[in-house]
Amino acid sequence: MSDQNILHVQEPSEHWGGPWTEKKLNAFSKYVDAYLTILQAHPYWQTIYFDGFAGSGSRKYPKTSLYNQLQITLEEEEGYKGAAERVVRLKKSFDYYYFVDNQDGIEKLQAKLTSLPEAEGKELLFRQEDCNLELKKLATAMRSNEYAALVLLDPFGMQINWDAIANLKNTRSDIWILLPTGVIVNRLLDKAGKLKSIALLESFFGLTEEVIRKEFYKTEQQLTLFGEDEITRKISDPIHHIANMYIQQLKTVWKYVTDEPLILSNSRNVPIYHFVFASNNAAAKNIAKDIIKRI
Give 208-243 pLDDT, tens digit per residue. Answer: 999 999 999 998 877 766 767 778 999 999 999 999
pLDDT value, residue 248: 99
Q: Which of 44-53, 147-156, 157-166, 218-227 has the lowest mean pLDDT?
A: 218-227
Split at pLDDT 50, 70, 90, the class of 181 is very high
Nearest to 80 by CA among 14, 137, 170: 14
CA distance 156 to 99: 16
More confident: 76 or 114: 114
In single-letter form, the type of residue at position 171 comes to T
pTM score: 0.86
pLDDT value, residue 81: 53
143 φ, ψ to 5°? Answer: -65, -20
**What residue segments make up the domains of the chain, in order of their start?**
3-194+238-294
Nearest to 105 by CA among 152, 51, 66: 51
For the chain, percent of residues with pLDDT exceeding 70: 84
CA distance 178 to 282: 21
Give the pLDDT confidence of 203-212 residue by residue, as tens digits.
999 999 999 9
Non-local CB neighbours of 269 within 8 Å, separated by 6+ positions: none
Answer yes or no: are the C-beta atoms of 258 and 264 closer than 8 Å: no
In single-letter form, the type of residue at position 164 comes to A
CA distance 276 to 244: 10
- Give the CA count within 13 Å in the CB-facing half-sphere of 68: 3
Domain 3-194+238-294 has CATH 1.20.58: no
For 154-281, list the strands marked E by DSSP.
173-179, 217-224, 227-234, 256-257, 262-265, 271-279
Nearest to 18 by CA among 286, 294, 273: 273
